[in-house]
């Protein structure tokens, strides 16, 4: 179990709420990294997804000119020689699927199979690229509420449980930095639907332990992908 410190965690973290694989999100990511110069970058990924995304970009003949590179990879590339840690803070896809399948009711399987919750009002990528971020977030929240109603087990894992785990890992990163006498300036890239929930948990960190226990989640430390060291001239 993570030991929560008496720390104002939100004072040590900035969030970029993303809409995955859009050019505008990539620009937001690069701007945030270059302007904030964080000590640590946290990504809503696990190792398998990070490697898959990174390897796809590395082997792509359009590398450097592609308009579809995701903001997570764009953020790591934007770090350049900045002396910063890169952390992977999300639940694995395997664990997500296991937890959803274990708890879904027959009614939820029916709803999922017949697409009760699949309606999209307007293409979110189209809106996001044209600067209507607030509308995308609003539509996303409405979609989340439909998930809460028709697929509560899926909603719980994809939103509540991941929020709890990511908040715990972010708190751990900040606590470790401060305990070792170093500045904690974390920049977290998570889906826009997760930002408010994670912030609320970090605002009242005792709720993090409560949430982990309620969801029967075992805390494990985030994965340190790599440390970007400043190169000499």
Domain spans, the chain: 9-228
Q: Which two tokens stand for residue 61?
A: 């003949």
**How are beta strands 40-43 and 13-18 bridged, if at all?**
unpaired
* Cβ–Cβ under 8 Å, residues 224 and 86: yes
pLDDT in tens, the chain (233 residues): 677 777 899 999 999 887 654 555 667 777 888 888 898 999 998 988 888 776 665 555 555 555 555 556 666 666 665 677 889 999 999 999 999 999 899 988 888 777 654 555 555 454 445 555 566 566 666 676 777 778 888 889 999 999 999 999 999 999 999 998 988 999 998 988 899 999 999 999 999 999 999 999 999 999 998 765 444 33
Axis-axis angle for helices 162-179, 192-203 (nearest 10): 60
Q: What is the pTM of this model?
A: 0.79
Axis-axis angle for helices 47-58, 71-79 (nearest 10): 80
* Cβ–Cβ under 8 Å, residues 1 and 209: yes
């Amino acid at each position: 179990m993570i030991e929560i410190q008496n720390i104002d965690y939100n004072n040590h973290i900035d969030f970029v709420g993303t809409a995955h694989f859009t050019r505008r999100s990539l620009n937001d990511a690069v701007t945030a990294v270059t302007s904030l110069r964080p000590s640590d970058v946290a990504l809503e990924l696990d190792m398998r997804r990070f490697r898959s995304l990174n390897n796809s970009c590395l082997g792509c003949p359009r590398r450097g000119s592609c308009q579809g590179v995701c903001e997570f990879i764009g953020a790591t590339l934007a770090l350049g020689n900045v002396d910063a840690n890169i952390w992977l803070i999300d639940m694995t896809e395997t664990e997500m699927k296991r937890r959803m399948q274990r708890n879904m009711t027959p009614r939820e399987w029916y709803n999922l199979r017949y697409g009760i919750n699949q309606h999209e009002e307007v293409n979110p990528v189209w809106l996001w690229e044209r600067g209507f971020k607030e509308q995308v977030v609003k539509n996303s929240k409405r979609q989340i509420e439909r998930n809460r109603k028709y697929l509560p087990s899926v909603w719980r894992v994809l939103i509540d449980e991941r929020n709890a785990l990511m908040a715990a890992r972010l708190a751990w990163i900040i606590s470790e930095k401060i305990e070792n006498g170093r500045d904690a300036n974390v920049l977290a890239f998570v889906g826009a639907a997760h930002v408010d929930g994670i912030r609320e948990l970090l605002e009242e960190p005792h709720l993090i332990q409560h949430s982990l226990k309620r969801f029967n989640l075992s805390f494990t430390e985030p994965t340190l992908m790599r440390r970007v060291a400043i190169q000499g001239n």
